[in-house]
Amino acid sequence: MHFIFKKLPLHINPIYGLGGLWILAYIPVFVRIKILTEKLKKEGKDFVVANSRGITALMIDDTPLGMKIANAMGCHENNYEALVSFSVALFSCIVSNVDYDVQSGATALFLLIRMIYTFVYLSKFNGPLRTYLFNAGALVTAALLVIAGHKYGQHNF
């Protein structure tokens, strides 16, 4: 399984990749603030950063803008969940001395999947494609955990 990641044409330093995933997790926040500000202006209200979460909860409704706000918030939360899961898998690989090319290839693939996922989640293409992309990212994470477990088992049992 590790040879798939090793032979990918795209590689990125895994630690830089985690930084990229962290930044990617915040893109939906800025999208949410933009949409939230637009919705508040339509209602004659002002946006207050100090209470943005409370305002967000009040602005999520069945209107097109309310649904976009909900999507942006969901995308942000999901990106953070994926970042945590992938970080655990990646650090498991680092501790288990998994080949750097496997780590960097998997990181590049995961980052690319999550970039497309974020675009899809925040766009009109949101639907089954989002689920496929989520599952693809989860498979990369699971594969890294299996690779790390196998490598760790070779040296410690």
The CATH number of residue 150's host domain is 1.20.120.550
Given phi > 0 = left and psi -120 to 50 = alpha, else beta, which region is 120? alpha
Among 147, 65, 82, CA closest to 116? 82
Q: How many residues does the chain have?
A: 157
Give the tens place of pLDDT for each residue, 16-32: 999 999 999 999 988 98
Handedness of CA 133, 34, 68, 25 (dihedral sign): positive
| Structure confidence at residue 63 (pLDDT) | 85
- Domain span at residue 63 reads 2-156
Q: What percent of the chain has pLDDT over 90?
A: 55
Check residues 110 and 34 and name the one with the higher pLDDT: 110
Check residues 27 and 69 and name the one with the higher pLDDT: 27
Number of structural domains in the chain: 1
pTM of the model: 0.87
